[in-house]
Structure 1
């Protein structure tokens, strides 16, 4: 990034003869002018340190001066902004020291002598405008100077400058330290790309700008890469062609290769330019991974490469531009051009939708890190084929393996991103088709991708390699919308995992038995997952709670699990960990419920499990029983979190007690009141949640002026009473000094409340 003054200090800026006049001051450009000046003014006034990026400025150096090819209008407005703030804030001498070379202004126009002379006088003759009010015209003040020639007003550039200066005055007249901010804080920057580094000829320079419009980033990129190819191959013929590499590359860029992107455009013809650049972003990533960098350097370079627009300069800085880069690029584009109307190398989209993702790459250039890893795998495979006929089965096997591993891996950080890409690169060295499966079935774990999933892939590869038709069954389960390749739990439930780790020499009957078991568990699991929105009143969660404590720890909480959060998802429970007994025991609860589950009667079978009640004899029975009895308690947990503390169990609407929360035992009592309202008549119940750690949630049961307040003290509750409407014999151990009763279990408290309600009804 650079600033206006940085460029000036390197020699100056000169608008060349070929450029048009300054246009931002024209009446027909009012909207453009107003919008741009508003953005500049906001950037200067902003005190938070934000920087306004004005994108690319392209040009070349001539006699020390930058002659912009694109960016003339922005640069001129930046000059006027510096001039105005210096003149307004009494910094004319500082401005002149930078902008005057002793004879001429270091910012000038060569379009007309009048424009050149005007800029000279504007810099040479300091003008104090500090006393002008907002209503005054800076333009009039300039025109009143004895050095100003009225003939200059015939020059559209001069007229435009005067208009813009007045517009700047309207926005920044009250800013006393504007020039200091502009110079010292650098609130306005742009990216300068020196075209002279690419040895563009004058004819080409003129041809590029003959239309009088700013060049697009792609047009600049296209010219640069064609010039690079010309210099790199020095007239060498493209293999099998009568054209030189430069001629071939230029021809293909304008014909066959453009057709690739034209088929995927979503807008006008300009979309193709953007698609080309997005494709080069993808190819740059592939080249970066294949450049031999270690994971640390790759992570650092990926960070910088993906966060900014692709340019030949960025590729050059990364050391990617060489002969091999061009050869691989041509190979890939030629293969894509030969693919027909759309990509169809895989012939299926259940693991990786090549058509949809290629369109996403071209039209947005965006994606998650997981997306980019899969894209690398896809295009690296295409590149590895060179001019060979592609085997769709081998390609499918490769993408199936990579997608399964990527979906199971957490790689949304640049260090993990780099490790995952390098892991895929290692896998690519294993071969193709059955050779790949054979290596996967016997290889050691590699870093960068989920190790448990790698173990699962070893087992599945071994099964697929047998002659007993495991592939259709495995792929049917893998391509389920939720499992996405992670089906180890089915192998565990089927008994495959335990036996495979000890003995793999099964006969045909054993294979068939395991396949039937695998199918049995899959048919049930597919009817349950994903859970969210599938069963009303949390039937699945409550059925699991009947079997045991399936909740996973998450920070300071326990979580009831949800599909949308990787750390506490149902998939995390299904993955479990065969090395951790407690995690495996939680996954076994899923097996218990599924064993009673009927895929033909999903709701009825879950209800039957719930009706059988909560099992177990440990201390978790009570809290699980409460959640099973009242689905509203689960519904209250907006983020699915419970907080277990020494004396209470809290139900959280968010993830902390600073959000609204309730206490389980007292909330259960209030739900009991709602369910059996008639039995509790004539009592009233109000439940009070809390959103601090200083006040406790509680339930208040009342009749007229008498109240019974219940506070949690897990696994019991504390009771405070106040008022006259209690029977004398109701509380045998009532303590008059504190109006308190000894703690009781929630069930005892419920019975106490029913007794009080019965007494009140008998008195009416």
Structure 2
């Protein structure tokens, strides 16, 4: 092994590779693990896989005579109290340096060489027992036999029970046992000690960065090489410096005064350890004293990387795939599918488990520029002025408690769009960060994202691709509005994007910026949340007129939906529904007065031009009193040009016309809607078509529905007046409260000596079915043409229309006929039986 050079290299020079002998053999310099550091962790039993992998890498290097670089070792110089020496307080690299000290000692013993005196320059302040253990080792030798080193050392006279209570000592013994096992298996033992100088690293004195003591906490908390992120980081650096990789070979300047240029991978590595720390660090992570401190910090850092690569995957790497391909199990047996599964589906698990570098390497092989993009993004995020602007734009102006998260474990679909929008914007930025333009860009993004129903990943892929197309326009990061005015054929028919393009045109034509201010003021409404397209019908010529309109319309709604004043008799929602006089508008439309997470109320105003036109007409009134008078005139049938829909629905469908009239004129239907929404806050009622009839109903429910297209309720009421009763006790209270009967089918029965097993079912399709129980004696003989009913215990005797009130007499007559047949049959049977007696 080479002797320590008498001419010492200045400590902390990042351009010089150092051996452990160089590092610990400097005159009057000791290397100390400060008290703030955690225990030696590479030797823990829980870290066996990492320990064995590192051990094998070291021994393979020594056996083959190859070189291995262990990246940076960070520290800070402190003058000793007596002024006669210098302490190099090791802030990052403790795990590696401790492992190398143990390796030098073990191989010196195994090769029967003198134990280097400079090993004593390395000490622990974390616990006295750790330092004493290392000193005792350096003063004694070990005969390497088949026996584990831990067993031999524990039998030494100087080894006391105090060492067993030191987790660092326990870890050191485990590491020595790992060396022992690998040494016994080695086929080239003779070269091991002589090649120790092939293991080298760079020193970096953090005082050159002017960093504070907080760096101790941050760097110590990471637990180098012990988290999935640190394994990932090691693979990233290995990829960057790979001699066979043609990329990243340039020299760059480090951000340290007076230091020369270094290889690109070294600068990238030190940025990960220094400049980018604060991006992901939170003070509540701890002080570094607990072994679990910093795990979340590492997880945040890692989340940035795999979320960035997932974003790039659907934007560029797999850009030829349609958006709906990016769903779990869509491409299960393809490499594209496996890559997407790795980056997206497995992402929540990667904070705790490292699944390897395979797909990152595949992506970087085709897109090496992503590394430079990552560096650029993180450099911007490390700039406090820039990040303050970004953070402020991740808070919705209508709800300051709703903050988007980029790096936290909770990561919603909307967060993914914001993440992509910010990172893509930074990538496209040239020169200085334009804060005002970024705010405008994020206003556009926010207005688009907050008005989408995001149900799956393919929907975010579509939106991110659309937003990326806008950023591709020349000058988008200098003047986003001007860039958007150049869009003549939008690649997207997304309503929100088209609205933002129209707003950008209006704003760009206004030198005073008054239109932008007016739009922003309207967008802040807690219901509108950025989407105000319904206010732009017959656009006012002046900002003042538009602002007056948006202000009065804003008074019609609050954070809960329609204001209480206009919920009385459900005036405004009935007025909205009255504008839906086309079947294509009416069917499958969700009817609600509340502000819900899926924006159904606002969607009505944005989707249907007649409702949007009505809203603008209401907003052009002078005050709420005038608004209410206009609403009353509409509901009482006064026809208003351009806003009022006919009560006849297009298409000549009598049942749909009846449904439309009832929805416009019966407030109790909306009492029912309100009741269902209160009982089931996440459920909504729609106007649906079922079996040729129309209903207001909750999807996948047998009972939360009222059929509106027939006069079923009038027929049932008539029958109840002729000695029939409702089968279900719940139907009458429901009818009294909401004006109709509930559910697909309504059953009635008649109290009669002869009709105890007889019922009439009023079906949702509009017919009345006459039913008898199968178990009834002689039923097959009496009704030979009866057929099985849906309910197995019943038979259907007959079925006739029950759509109109005029059908009531026929239904009653049919019921009387059946009763008479059953009565006559039973009388005849009883007479016959009497005669036999």
User: In structure 1, what is the Cα distance between the partners aligned to 2:569 and 2:51?
Assistant: 56
Aligned to 2:417: 373
Aligned 8 A contact 1:698 1:709 in 2: no
Please name the residue that 2:524 is paired with: 479
In structure 1, what is the equivalent of residue 146 of structure 2? 113
TM-score using structure 2 length: 0.50
Deviation at 1:373, TM superposition (A): 2.5
Q: Which residue of 2 aligns with 1:217?
A: 228
Task: Say yes or no: does 1:623 pair with 2:667.
Answer: no
Aligned partner of 1:438 in structure 2 is 482
2:233 is paired with a residue of what secondary structure? helix
Kindly provide the CA deviation profile for residues 528-560 of structure 1, in whole angstroms up to 9, marking residues without a partner as x: 974599947755443434555588679x95643
Query: Offset at 1:398?
Result: 1.5
Using a 3 Å threshold, how does the CA distance of structure 1 residues 378 and 56 change in structure 2: closer, same or farther? farther
The alpha-carbon deviation at position 395 of structure 1 amounts to 0.8
The structure having more radius of gyration, on CA atoms, is 2
Q: In 1, are the aligned partners of 2:553 and 2:615 still within 8 Å (CA)?
A: no
The correspondence for 2:407, drawn from 348, 359, 362, is 362
Q: How far apart are residue 697 of structure 1 and its match?
A: 0.6
- SS of the aligned residue for 1:296 comes to coil
TM-score by length of structure 1 reads 0.54
SS in 2 for 1:256: coil
Matches within 5 A, 1:537-556: 540-546=572-578, 548-549=580-581
Residue 748 of structure 2 aligns to a residue whose secondary structure is strand
* Distance in 2 between residues matched to 1:271 and 1:474, nearest whole Å: 40
Could you tell me whether the CA contact under 8 Å between 2:421 and 2:467 is conserved in 1?
yes
Q: Map residues 404-443 of structure 1 onto 2, 5 A cutoff.
A: 404-408=447-451, 417-430=460-473, 431-432=475-476, 435-443=479-487
Where does 1:251-270 land on structure 2 (aligned, <5 Å)? 251-263=270-282, 268-270=293-295
Q: Residue in 1 aligned with 2:253?
A: 237
Q: Distance in 2 between matches of 1:271 and 1:610?
A: 59
Q: Secondary structure at the match of 1:700?
A: strand
Kept after mapping to 2: 8 A contact 1:557/1:655: no
Match of 1:336 among 381, 403, 410: 381
CA contact (8 A) 1:670 1:687 kept: no
Instruction: State the Cα RMSD in Å.
Output: 6.1
Q: Alpha-carbon deviation of 1:316?
A: 1.4
C-alpha distance in structure 2 between counterparts of 1:549 and 1:596, whole Å: 24
Secondary structure at the residue paired with 2:411?
A: coil
- 1:510 aligned residue: 541
2-structure distance, mates of 1:697, 1:270:
59
Aligned partners of 2:146 and 2:392: how far apart in 1?
65
Task: For residue 315 of structure 1, give the secondary structure of its aligned residue in structure 2.
Answer: helix
Match of 1:382 in 2: 426
User: Paired residue for 1:305, among 339, 343, 346?
Assistant: 343
2-structure distance, mates of 1:376, 1:441: 22
- After superposition, the Cα gap between the structure-2 partners of 1:259 and 1:476, relative to the gap in structure 1 and judged at 3 Å, is same
Tell me, yes or no, if the aligned pair for 1:549 and 1:586 is still in contact at 8 Å: no
Contact in 2 for aligned 1:718/1:742 (Cα 8 Å): yes
Distance in 2 of aligned mates of 1:510 and 1:532: 29
**How far, CA to CA, are the matches of 1:302 and 1:709 in structure 2?**
58
The superposition leaves residues 339-390 of structure 1 with CA deviations (integer Å, 9 ceiling, x where unpaired) of 169633475556589998987222216231x4323222212323444652x3
Question: 5+ residue gaps in structure 2?
Answer: 1-40, 64-94, 97-143, 150-172, 175-196, 203-218, 243-247, 287-292, 327-335, 639-644, 678-682, 732-742, 773-795, 813-837
- CA shift for structure 1 position 394: 0.9
* 1:279 pairs with 2:304: yes
Q: Give 1:39's aligned residue.
A: none
Residue 617 of structure 1, CA deviation:
4.0
Distance in 1, matches of 2:478 and 2:45, equals: 66
Q: 1:365 to 1:380 in 2, by over 3 A?
A: farther
Listed as ranges, the gaps of 5+ residues in structure 1 are: 1-17, 26-53, 71-110, 117-155, 158-199, 497-508, 577-582, 723-737, 755-764
Q: Distance in 2 between matches of 1:524 and 1:391?
A: 35
Change in 2 beyond 3 A, CA 1:56/1:403: farther
519-528 or 330-339, larger mean C-alpha shift = 519-528
Change (3 A) 1:395 1:541: same
CA contact (8 A) 2:715 2:805 kept: no
